[in-house]
Amino acid sequence: MIHPNKFPRPLYGLLPVMMLACIIINPFNAPRLQAQETQKPAEAKAAVQLSPEQWKAVEGVFQSPQNNEMNVQFTAKEKVLVVKLLWNNNEISLTPESPLTFFSNDANEGRPLRISFIKDSTGAITRVSVVNNEIWKRVKDYKPVVKTEMQHTPAQLKPFEGLYLLQNTKDRFIQFSVKGNNLVLKQHWDGNEIPFVPESELDFYSKESPLFSLTFTKENDGTISQVLAFKRDRWFKVKKIQPAPDQLKVIEGKYQLKDDPDNYIQITAKGTNLVVKQLWDGKEIVLEPQTETYFYNNSESYPLRVIKDNSGMVTGVEVLGVDLFNKVKE
């Protein structure tokens, strides 16, 4: 059911990472998160009793194969296995299902979560399988990552400002802007903002979660072209475009919500912007163009993507990343 004042927002977020599943889920890439959620996990079994030796065998620090700065620590405590996410110090308690398998019924938004430890040929536990069977390896001599803020000025941060699009997507945008002496990342889909500071000329981190890293790429001409987040998610800088009046005009029209045909919006071009009017309550939202097909209201954190068919005709719009409206034929 549509909220009377605003469409529902997608439940995505970057930080804080609050569950073990987020160890390997892309913190930016919402579509992958949705695919993960559609999988129906197996029912968790009853807890079993482990010996002190079995508890000791699963304790230790394990490292992500994707990012050597991401480590988790397993500690036995009061008949549960406490998982500490060393990049933000959040903790999750897991119950033993067997000497090598542990689960939680509430760590993953109410869905059972299971991890399995793996032994090597000598019988020692050296690896652990987490969500999606990703294998993390034991770290023998763990040393915490220490990051230091580089001296800088707001002017040095200015070249990094702009709009960035996630690789292989059409509508997943983030915006960087300078506020004070921080480079602030804003998630377009929910309005969440995260301040970053530089560790070096092109490497940034969040003071709130130091292992949330950003690495920018500078071209030979000195311009910033892309950023790598968490050492795995690549975002490309997008040049902001102002569509011509005739390009805005073809978007105008009445649109019907696919999942609830009783709800409509009306889109009109006004100057250089689009205006979305919610016909169920009359509320109007002004959207500024970011590209030829992507529009955004910054104060409302309200994105709209125009959908076209193969011939270039406008067939619908996607609002807030979740609501699909089909254009009503006149």
pLDDT score recorded for residue 43: 54
- Record the pTM: 0.70
Instruction: Identify whether residues 225 and 177 lie together within a single domain.
Output: yes
Lowest-pLDDT range, 102-106, 148-152, 221-225? 102-106
Question: Which residues are within 8 A (CB) of 168 and not within 5 positions of it... i.e. 6 or more apart?
Answer: none
Q: Please tell me the predicted confidence (pLDDT) of residue 67.
A: 82
Mean pLDDT of the chain: 85
Query: Rounded to whole angstroms, how far apart are CA atoms 19 and 99?
Result: 22
What CATH number is associated with residue 211? 2.40.128.210
Q: Are residues 128 and 42 in the same domain?
A: yes
Please tell me the total count of domains within the chain.
Answer: 3
Q: Looking at the structure, do residues 121 and 166 belong to the same domain, yes or no?
A: no
Domain boundary among 107, 139, 171: 139
- Report the CATH number at residue 30: 2.40.128.50
Q: Are residues 59 and 170 in the same domain?
A: no
Q: Are residues 187 and 122 in the same domain?
A: no
Are 207 and 252 found together in one domain? no
Listed range (89-98, 118-127, 173-182) with the worst mean pLDDT: 89-98
Q: Coil, strand, or helix at residue 177?
A: strand
Do both 258 and 234 map to the same domain? no
Residue 7 lies in a domain: no
Q: How far apart are CA 255 and CA 266, in angstroms?
A: 6
76: containing domain:
20-139
123 lies in the same domain as 27: yes
Residue 4 lies in a domain: no
Mean pLDDT of 108-131: 86
CA diameter of the chain? 74
Residue among 150, 178, 164 at smallest CA distance from 216? 164
**Peptide linkage before 210 cis (omega within 30 of 0):** no
* Residues 208 and 294 both lie in one domain: no
Instruction: State both tokens at 272.
Output: 């250089």
Considering the domain boundaries, does residue 66 fall inside one?
yes
Range 15-47 burial, b when 16+ CB lie within 10 A, else e? bebebbbbbbbbbbbbeebeebeeeeeeebeee
Query: Both 26 and 120 in a single domain?
Result: yes
* Domain C-terminal end among 203, 238, 273: 238
Pair 65, 116 in one domain: yes
111 shares its domain with 47: yes
